[in-house]
Each structure stands twice: as C-alpha cells, then as structure tokens.
Amino acid sequence: MSKIISVPNESKKETISKNAAKLFRKKGFSATSMRELAVDIGVEASSLYNHIGSKSELLQIICFKVANDFINQINELEQVEIEVTSKLEKIIRFHIHKMLEDYDMVYVANHEWKHLQEPFLKNFLNQRKLYENKLIELIKIGISEKSIKKLNPQVLAFTILSAVRGLEFWQQHKKNIDIAELEKTMVTQLLTGIIK
Amino acid sequence: MSKIISVPNESKKETISKNAAKLFRKKGFSATSMRELAVDIGVEASSLYNHIGSKSELLQIICFKVANDFINQINELEQVEIEVTSKLEKIIRFHIHKMLEDYDMVYVANHEWKHLQEPFLKNFLNQRKLYENKLIELIKIGISEKSIKKLNPQVLAFTILSAVRGLEFWQQHKKNIDIAELEKTMVTQLLTGIIK
DNA sequence: ATTAAAAACGAATAAGCGTTAGTTTTGTAA
DNA sequence: TTACAAAACTAACGCTTATTCGTTTTTAAT
C-alpha cells in the first residue's frame, strides 16, 4: 500500500491518533481492530508499529490530551478574578467548544477511558477527580458568597458535568441548532433554570 | 461445576442477563467474554447456551428492558392531567430511581447500545428518539403555556436527559449523598437553576 | 551514485473469541 | 426403578486478535 499521509505540522503519530479516535468513538475501543485502523489510514496493520508502541498507547494519547486540555482551562480560570457565576458560564462554554472542535477525542476520553491499563487508568481518574473537585470548590465559593443557591455542591457540579459531557447529541443535530443558540440555552438552563 | 442458581420468580435467563449487565457495565460489551460471564455464574461457557441464544441476545434483553420501562413511564404520564413542570419533575425523579434500582442495566442501555445488531439497533434508536420527542413535545407545551422559558426545546430536553443519564456518578458517592437530597437538588437545579 | 535510516510489507505467532457437537450427569415424574 | 428431559460437561471448530520478525522498498543526505 501507500504511505501514511500526514498534513504539515502534524506527526504521523498524531495522524494515527486522530483516526484511532474516530474509530474508537464509532465502534468502541475493544471493538476496533488495528487492521481496521490500518485500512482507514491506507497501510498494513504491521506498519503502524513503526510509529506507535501499541493500541493501548493510542487510547492513552487520546485520553490524556483531553484531560490536560480541561485541566489547563480550569487552572487558567482560577487565576482570573471574575464572579463565580461568570466562571461557571465560561466552563460550560468551554465544554461546548471542545466538544465541537475535538468531538472524537472528547467522546473517547469520556466513554472509553475504562479500557486504559494501569497505571494510566488510575492516573486518568485522578485527573478527572481533580477537575471535579476544582469545580465543586468553585461552587462552594459561590454558595458562601450567596450568589449560588445553598444546595449540595457535589450534586450541582456533577449535574453540570453530566449535561456538558452529554453534548454528543449536538453532533447529530448540527444542522438544526446553531452553536450560539446552543450555548445560550445551556448556560441559561444550567444557571437560571427553565421555569419562568 | 455446579448449577445455575436462580432466585424464585426469576428465570435462569434473567439471572444470566443480570450478571451480563454487571459485566457489560464494568468491562464493556466487547471486552466481556462468555467465558468470564460463565465463571461469574459458576458454569462452563457452553452451558450458557442451554438458556440463551447468543451473547448478542443478552445485550438485546438488557437494552429493550430499559427502553420499555422508560417508554411506559412517559406514556402513563401523558394520561395524567397535571402541570407540565410537575411532569418534568416526575420524569427526573423516575430517572433517578431507575438508575438506583437497575444501575447495571440502565448503564448498559445508555452506553453499550451501539453494539446491538440490526434490526435491533435501528429499533432501539427509534425507541430512544420516540422518548426524546415526547419530552420535547412536553417542553413545547410548557413554553406555549408560558410556564417554561422560551428557549430551544430540543436543547432543553437533551440537557435534562444528559444530566439524568449521567447519574452514574451517584453510584460512587452513595455514602456521601442521600437520595432525597439528590432528587431535590437535581430537580431544583434543572427546573429553577442554581443562581439565587 | 552511495549509504543509512525510515517506513513499508507479508508471514507467522500465540492467545482468545463465540459458538457447536457429542456425551454425561442431574432432576423429575410415572 | 425406569424413562425422559433439562442442563451440565469436555473438546473442538474456525476465526480474529494484537503484535513480532525478517525482509524489501522508499526517502533523504552525502
């Protein structure tokens, strides 16, 4: 077969990872074979191993890329001095943008992380918990400042995360809903509710 | 090995299905082998085939059991004559209860349905869309009655569904949060928002 | 044109998969 | 006790899996 075609500024490893993300999202990690991935890329399965270490490594690359992006964003946000509710709004909007830009990778990180091997599995879950705890802390500050209702901060945080992590639905309705409306609706709903 | 032990009023097929749901949730459908399932139940893999047709059938049983439960609930709710917002509250509370009672099955139906074979895959997705559309219609009524904010009903519906489908987190925090508080918090958050 | 490294290939390996077949054990009712 | 059906067993089939090996082709620099 032919060579792996990679666009400039993108290593062949990245090209393989992105294709892997697409397949892992569509079929799941375990149900995706290296042979299928190779076909998609246009090369024999064995040739992939000149560029990557293992199938498992591809999942690691995907999951930690996403985890780092989210951790970095919330870290930057901690430095900024704006109201808690504005921070929450920014977090929600960031999730929406990420889901649109890196749909495959975000989806895989959200749904296929359980197939990571140790020690990567523990590592990933630690990253996740770190992010969740930062969000919970933010909400607690909001409650103490009386800008947020006195409800269980853990539940509030997880509900927001569940809502934005479920943004996959959007991919299937791209045509019907425009992104500005999507953002406005979700921010309004999650922050101020749906009842008039 | 020994025989399959099934509690009274539960067929052996049900026993196998429930064990399958537990494994499919923990490891994913594709990564779960019939041999593993057999070990969990205490028989040889081949013995399972005296009770079930195939591995795929187990996934079908799980997914359609869950789909039917949710469709039935929302159908019953359509008959009842109460306010739209009360109906939404009931739907949210039903999701929470279902996730607690049949965690494994609900999780599998939410996450592993893509491994269904045709025609079951199409069938399942139709059921899902039916449910989503019923929820969207409900919200549209609320908007026209002016009890719900004039926002994109599709987005509102999917956000609610994402939030309740993400209730898996609760399983890991059973000890910290009691169910009454969980319900109250989520209903309040999704219907009236979190900002004071 | 020569050389060395990078990247492709085909073939093979060992392990695991869902499932079937044939046989034996177990439980139940006559 | 006999007879029959249900459900277990062992063994095997054919296929797929991720990965490795040794070799050949391609690419790029001298």
CATH number of A1-53: 1.10.10.60
Query: In the predicted model, what is the mean pLDDT of residues B1-10?
Result: 61
Which residues in chain B (153-172) have CB-CB distances under 8 A to chain A? 154-156, 158-159, 161-167, 169-170
> Cis omega (within 30 of 0) on the bond before B153?
no
How much is the pLDDT for A196? 65
d(CA B159, CA B185): 16
| Residue A20, CA distances (Å) to A108, B67, B118 in order | 10, 31, 24
A156 CB neighbours in chain B (<8 A) are 185, 189, 194
pLDDT over 70 (residue B48): yes
Q: Model confidence over A77-96: pLDDT tens digits?
A: 999 999 999 999 999 999 99
Question: Can you give the distance from the CA of residue A111 to the C1' of nucleotide D26 in angstroms?
Answer: 39
Q: What pLDDT is stored for residue B172 in this prediction?
A: 82
Out of B31, B191, B193, whose CB is closest to A30? B31
Determine contact, residues B187/B89, Cβ cutoff 8 Å: yes
- Render pLDDT for B150-171 as a digit per residue (tens, 0 to 9): 999 999 999 999 999 988 888 8
Residue of A nearest to B180 (CA): A152
| Protein residues with beta carbon less than 7 Å from any atom of strand D | A 3, 32-36, 45-46, 49, 54-56; B 1-4, 12, 43-47, 50-51
3-state SS class at B195: strand
Contacts of B196 in chain A (CB under 8 A): 146-149
State the Cα–Cα distance between residues B163 and B36, nearest whole angstrom. 32
The predicted-structure confidence for A91-148, as pLDDT tens digits, reads as follows 999 999 999 899 999 999 999 999 999 999 999 999 999 999 999 999 999 999 999 9
> Between B11 and B41, where is the model more confident?
B41
Residue spans of the domains in chain B: they are 1-53, 55-192
Please provide the DSSP assignment of chain A as one string. Answer: --PPP--TT--HHHHHHHHHHHHHHHH-TTT--HHHHHHHHTS-HHHHTTT-S-HHHHHHHHHHHHHHHHHHHHHHHHHS-S-HHHHHHHHHHHHHHHHHHSHHHHHHHHHSGGGPPTTHHHHHHHHHHHHHHHHHHHHHHHHHTTSB-SS-HHHHHHHHHHHHHTTHHHHTTTTTS-HHHHHHHHHHHHHH-SB-
Neighbouring CB atoms inside 10 A of A36's CB total 16
Q: What is the CA radius of gyration of chain B?
A: 19
Both tokens assigned to A28: 């799941």
Cβ neighbours for B80, distance < 8 A, ≥ 6 positions apart: B87
Res. A7: pLDDT tops 90: no
How many CB atoms are located within 10 Å of the residue B122 CB?
10
The DSSP letter of residue B148 is B
Strand partners of residue B148: A195
Nearest CA-CA partner of B139 in A149, A89, A165, A189: A189
The confidence score (pLDDT) of residue A175 equals 81
A55-192 — its CATH code? Answer: 1.10.357.10
Is residue B125 helix, strand or coil?
A: helix
Neighbours of B133 (CB within 10 A): 12
B48 versus A4: the higher-pLDDT residue is B48
Rounded Cα–Cα distance for residues A140 and B11 (Å): 48
Residue B152 is nearest to which of A139, A158, A177, comparing CB atoms?
A177
Q: pLDDT category, A195, cuts 50, 70, 90?
A: confident
| Distance of residue A22 Cα from the nearest chain B Cα, in angstroms | 15
User: What percentage of residues in chain A have a pLDDT greater than 70?
Assistant: 94
Strand C: positions under 7 A of a protein C-beta atom? 6-12, 16-22, 26-27
Go through A117-139 and write b for each residue having 16 or more CB atoms within 10 A of its CB, e for each that does not.
Answer: eeebeeebeebbeebeebbbebb
Q: Distance in angstroms, CA of A44 to C1' of D9?
A: 42
Q: Which of residues 62-101 of A touch B (CB under 8 A)?
A: 85
The residues in A 173-192 lying below 8 A from B, measured between CB atoms, are 173, 176-177, 181-182, 184-186, 188-192
